[in-house]
A and B are shown apart, each in its own frame.
Chain A
Amino acid sequence: MTVAMEEPKLDIERHIKYWQRCLKTLLPTQYTSTDSNRMMLGFFILSALDLLGTGADTFPEKDRRNIRDWILKCQHPNGGFCGSPNHRFPDAYYVDVGHGRQQMDPANLPATFFAILSLSFVGTLEQVRRDDCLKWLKTLQRDDGSFGELVTQDGAIEGGRDMRYCYIAAGVRWMLKGDTPPIGEDREGDIDLEKLVDHVRSGQTYDGGISESFQHEPHAGYTCCAISTLSIIHRLPISSLSGAEAPGLTNIPETIRWLVSRQVGYTEEGEEDEAETKTPARPVLQGVYENEPLVPGLSLQDVDFVGFNGRCNKSVDTCYAYWVTASLDMLGQDRAQLLNIKAARRFLLEQTQHRIGGFGKAPGNPPDIYHSYLGLAALAIMKEPGLKPFDSALCVGAQQKEMMELLREAALSR
């Protein structure tokens, strides 16, 4: 069919306005419940502006310096970063009074990942306390290979045993060159990579997805974090450096089946999720509308919108467009093309893109920083015109990843 259908556009200008507002004005009070994740929100703001071509490289030097100072002020004296200045005490409180340096409010793993990434937009990594950070990172790993998000003064590792922290640990290790330390550096200080791979592998579920840890329900977010982990440490079956190492995924075709199954046909009449209804089954097939005859040979054109859910039989949500697309993108070149990109793009642009810029979680929702970034990132992986190419493993623009490669070398050779 060659009907010249008007395709929706990404409203670049409005998105830039949205993100500049996030950068320059106070976030509304409702964000108080995310106060401990401000480092993450800050990263989303800097990276979104970068994807839109108006990143920190265009800011006045004074602004760049202030942002850099703010991030570094959240660095924990014992290594790692805090999630927000609300967790960072004045320096005097950390002083050793005889039982080792005080922990106070401990450093946080996700905050550390986002702080280092954010620094790469506004300066160098030279002021990151690399050795302390890598030493601290090792203390976050449990015997089963998983990572916690923080470690308390008495050594207890706290936080869920899930794939997010595995991913973030692998990312921090890579950004600080813990993976390829300088000659002469003690390898004993590294995390246990084999245990990490084993933990990720044991998170695979019977239906091809990946769960937070063994034998729980698979989830697109955890699946993506698991694949990102393996991608960063070169343990995807497609990226293994040698055949000797055990791959972290055992059945890629099953994982791909699970990922493409996250696509859900969406209709505007509020029937987005036929599967979520609790009435007994109707003889309606996914992807086929009730009111349309089942004529053979019908093309894809008749499906207007495809959203993504995070788990089988759940509702669609903007962020899963990212988690699914990024997962496939890492599983091989053009794997994201296995998705119904055209209808997925239309869903994001016409259903969850907001008229003031940004994206909401679901159709009709107001935009928020998390969904706005992941909506933009999903479109970047889909090669949306006007957005910079994307690196799914590090969750930043591809150019920024290259920049990070330079910065991590430079920080070591200072």
Chain B
Amino acid sequence: MGKYEGDPEWDDVVPIPQDDGEGALAQIAYTDEYAEAMGYLRAVMAAKEYSQRVLDLTEHIISMNAAHYTVWLYRASTIFALNADISQELNWINEVALDNQKNYQIWHHRQLLLDHLYPGISSDSAALQDLTESEIEFMTQMFDEDAKNYHVWSYRQYFVRKLNLFNDAELKSIETLLRTDIRNNSAWSHRFYVVFSDPKHSTSGSRATEHDPRIPDEIIDREIEFSKAATFEAPQNQSPWNYLRGVLRKGGRKLSSQECFANEFVKIPEDGEEDIRSSHALDFLADVWAEEGKTEKADEALRLLGDKYDRIRKNYWDWRRGMLKEDEVTKAVEKVELGQ
């Protein structure tokens, strides 16, 4: 006899069995426990029952199939209908999240809970402070398990926006993560978000790939210095190189403004062996030199990348060399057409 079938508390419920039919695709060897619980879930959903026993049932199903896309929604509806304690629910999903690192639904559920909770405490600064601390503490716990967990970062971004946490504390917490792992690209991305979407000094709706004239120069300078310091620590780490390019674009500055910096990692003497400490620096300089019209130098950088310093991408670097030549031809044709 099944768990529910034998439980007097569920006597009044007639489960709705699953009908798979003959041609079922991807049929799974369900355990009896799972099949029974699902039958009871369908029955309570059909009856629109919102009760404590429904919370227990959904918890049971989530423990077996955390990716069930409606059991979570039904659980949220039940919580709200019962006016259940949200912080107790948050504590419960903390445990579930720690056990299911890759699950998305948990984080969506958490957002629903926050959206429900927030209007009631939005003018209570002490309550907001408590919420911020407990949420950040939990995310830190998740990051201890996996500092690049995509779902947690998505939630972090939501949380920053919701509670307007574009502040120094947020930047400091990113720096703490980067001190542990300077290659944590998730942390780099989050920093870009916190700095360049801060409503205090960014244009609302400015895209990540656009120049934003509202960003003050000192912030652009600060971020350039931040990425440079990280690059000195690990020159072959692509994250700060990408970040630098992004910051320059936000600031409307040319790549060539950082030529000296990139040259710290690239020495190509007229004669003798070159000394390259970062393929990303070479890539950066290839773009700088192309920007400055120094096609031959750019081509040599791309050749070195394909032949020697980043051989696994040789096809790509060769393609870039071809593009460089095409650009040169296009420019020459334009000159002729303009009669120069």
Contacts and interface: CB of A to CB of B under 8 A. Distances in A.
A66 B23 contact: yes
Contacts of B309: 285, 287-288, 294
Interface in B233-247: 233-239, 242-243, 245-247
B30 A87 contact: no
A70 B20 contact: yes
B258 interface: no
A38 B67 CA distance: 12
Interface in B33-77: 34, 38, 42, 45-46, 64-70, 73
A294 B243 CA distance: 28
B186 A85 contact: no
Contact of A207 (B246, B278, B279, B314): B246
Contact of B25 (A45, A211, A250, A275): A45
Contacts of A65: 23
B277 interface: yes
A343 B312 contact: yes
Contacts of B313: 260-261, 263, 287, 340
B104 A160 contact: yes
Nearest to A222: B150
Contact of A286 (B31, B64, B312): B312
Interface string A279-291: 0110111111000
Contacts of B68: 35-36
Interface stretch (B86-94, B137-145, B177-185, B294-302): B177-185
A23 B237 CA distance: 44
A28 interface: yes
A251 interface: yes
A408 interface: no
A280 B70 CA distance: 45
Contacts of A118: 25
B310 interface: yes
A202 interface: yes
B218 to A, nearest CB: 19
Contacts of B237: 275, 281, 313
Contacts, number: 259
A31 B45 contact: no
Interface centre among A201, A202, A275 (most CB of B within 10 A): A275
A287 B192 contact: no
B312 A285 contact: no
A212 interface: yes
B236 A33 contact: no
B236 A27 contact: no
A280 B234 contact: yes
A298 B308 contact: yes
Interface in A285-329: 285-288, 294, 296-300, 302-303, 306, 311-314
Interface stretch (A8-16, A102-110, A171-179, A383-391): A102-110
Given A205-B209, A280-B234, A340 B26 contact: no
Contacts of A212: 150, 154
B28 interface: yes
Contacts of A46: 25
Contacts of B250: 206
Nearest to A28: B29
B150 A217 contact: yes
A217 B183 CA distance: 13
Contacts of B276: 285
A337 interface: yes
Contacts of A294: 308-309
A34 interface: yes
B73 A313 contact: no
A132 interface: no
Contacts of A265: 312
A298 B27 CA distance: 51
A276 interface: yes
A256 B70 CA distance: 38
A73 interface: yes
B33 to A, nearest CB: 10
Interface in B2-22: 16, 18-22
B23 A70 contact: yes
A284 B236 contact: yes
A219 B150 CA distance: 9
A28 B150 CA distance: 28
A67 B234 CA distance: 55
A42 B308 contact: no
A380 B313 CA distance: 21
Contacts of B245: 206-207
Given A93-B16, A149-B69, A253-B323, 18 more contacts: A35-B30, A36-B67, A41-B26, A70-B24, A85-B19, A87-B70, A89-B16, A201-B207, A202-B207, A205-B189, A205-B208, A216-B193, A217-B186, A284-B236, A285-B236, A287-B311, A298-B308, A313-B238
Interface of B: 16, 18-31, 34, 38, 42, 45-46, 64-70, 73, 104, 108, 148, 150, 153-154, 157, 180-186, 189-190, 192-193, 196-197, 207-209, 233-239, 242-243, 245-247, 249-250, 276-279, 307-316, 319, 323
Interface of A: 22-23, 26-29, 31-39, 41-42, 45-46, 63, 65-71, 73, 83, 85-90, 93, 104-106, 108, 118, 149-150, 152, 158-160, 201-202, 204-208, 211-212, 214-219, 250-251, 253-254, 256-257, 260-261, 263, 265, 275-276, 278, 280-281, 283-288, 294, 296-300, 302-303, 306, 311-314, 337-340, 343, 369
